Structure 1
Amino acid sequence: MAKLILSMFTSLDGYIEKPNGEFAPPAWSDDLSRHWSGYALERARHLIYGRINFLFNKGFWSAADTDPESPAAGISYAGTMNRLPKTVFSTTMTGDPGWNATLAKGDPAGAIARLKEEVEGDIYTFGGAGVANSLVALDLVDEYRLMVTPVLFGKGKRLFEDGRPEIKLTLIEAKPLDTGAVILHYRRDRSA
């Protein structure tokens, strides 16, 4: 059975974006690429997105297939990002979302249960916050792989919203990176 892994980066004070929805990527390095995106894409066999993050990533990565001058074309794992099957959770999208994706509406627990049965390998969700919080609230996430970046935003959009259930976790790994970020990898403790 496949595992669902929530893989996102956050500021030290818990924000995944700056005020007004401004995307705030972490400082990049070969070390970060190897232990963050490289690690995930070696294991991922399916990706989960919310609508906004899906459209952002589709616009960025799909250009690698058609425009050799695009920023994505110069990234070694662009082909993997474009090839992997994806599921998009959205209440507003209709039709074929493209980019090797299937649209899921309604029952996220049922959709994730089906994917866990069908997919051989790990299922990664790279966000955004809406789908992440929905999956956490339903206690569907098997592992949390978070990169905490060395910055304080002060405000913006938080990764975890108030009101979610208490969830016990077991540390798998804490990996400091040369950028000052730290990857924290936890497994959902279902023993209780």
Structure 2
Amino acid sequence: MAKLILAMFTSLDGYIEGPGGVFVPPAWSGDLERHWAGQALERAGHLVYGRVNFVFNKGFWSAAETDPDSPAAKVPHAGTMNRLPKTVVSRTLTGDPGWNAVLVRDDLAGAVARLKVEAPGDVTCFGGAGIANSLLALDLVDELRLMVLPTLFGDGKRLFEPGLPQRAFTLAETRALDTGAVILHYRRSI
């Protein structure tokens, strides 16, 4: 059975977006490529996104298929990102979302249960905050891979919203990256 892995990056002060909803990406390096993206995609058999992050990633990665000069085309795992099957969770999207994705509007728990049985590798959720908190609230997350950036955002959107149920996780691995970020990998305690 596949595991559901929630992979998110956060500032030191716990934000995944800067003030005003500004996307603040991590500093990119070969080290980050290998230990963050590369490791996640080696295990992934299916990707899960919330609507906003899906639309952003679809726009970025799908360009690699048609524009060899796009930033995405220069990333070694662009083909994997475009090839992997995806689920986008949204109440506002309609029709075929494209990008090798299916749309889930309700019954998130049922959809994840099916993915855990059917996916050929782990089910990896790259967020955003809404889907992350929904998955945690429904007790569906088996592992957390958090990249803590060496930055204080000061304000913005928090990764974990108040009111989530208590859950215990066991530290499986830590890895300091050459960018100053740290990956914290936790597995759910049983």
Q: TM-score range by the shorter chain?
A: over 0.9
Quote the Cα distance in structure 2 between the aligned partners of 1:24 and 1:167: 28
The 5 Å alignment of 1:67-78 reads: 67-78=67-78
Listed one character per residue, the Cα deviations across residues 139-171 of structure 1 (whole Å, up to 9, x for unaligned) are 100000000010011100000000000110000
**1:155 — aligned with what?**
155
The one-letter amino acid of 2:148's match is V
What CA distance in whole angstroms lies between the structure 1 residues aligned with 2:68 and 2:31? 25
Partner of 2:56: 56
Partner of 1:21: 21
Residue 66 of structure 1 pairs with residue 79 of structure 2: no
* Residue of structure 2 equivalent to 1:33: 33
SS in 2 for 1:135: helix
Q: Alpha-carbon deviation of 1:133?
A: 0.4
Cα distance in 2, alignment partners of residues 51 and 121 from structure 1: 22
TM-superposed CA distance for 1:121, in Å, is 1.2
Aligned to 1:92: 92
Aligned-pair CA distance for 1:44: 0.6
Q: Distance in 2 between matches of 1:45 and 1:52?
A: 21
Matched, 1:134 2:122: no
- Among all aligned residue pairs of Structure 1 and Structure 2, give the percentage whose two residues are the same amino acid: 73
Structure 1 consecutive aligned stretches of length 4 or more whose deviation exceeds 6 Å: none
Q: How far apart, CA to CA, are the structure 1 residues paired with 2:147 and 2:56?
A: 20
The CA distance in 1 between the partners of 2:176 and 2:88, in whole Å, is 31
CA drift of 1:21 comes to 1.1
Q: What's the offset of the Cα at 1:120?
A: 2.1
Which 5+ residue runs of structure 2 have no aligned equivalent? none
Corresponding residue pairs, total: 190
Q: How does 1:157-172 map to 2 (within 5 A)?
A: 157-172=157-172
C-alpha separation in 2, matches of 1:63 and 1:119: 25
Partner Cα separation in structure 2 for residue 20 and residue 55 of structure 1: 19
Structure 1 residue runs without a partner (length 5+): none
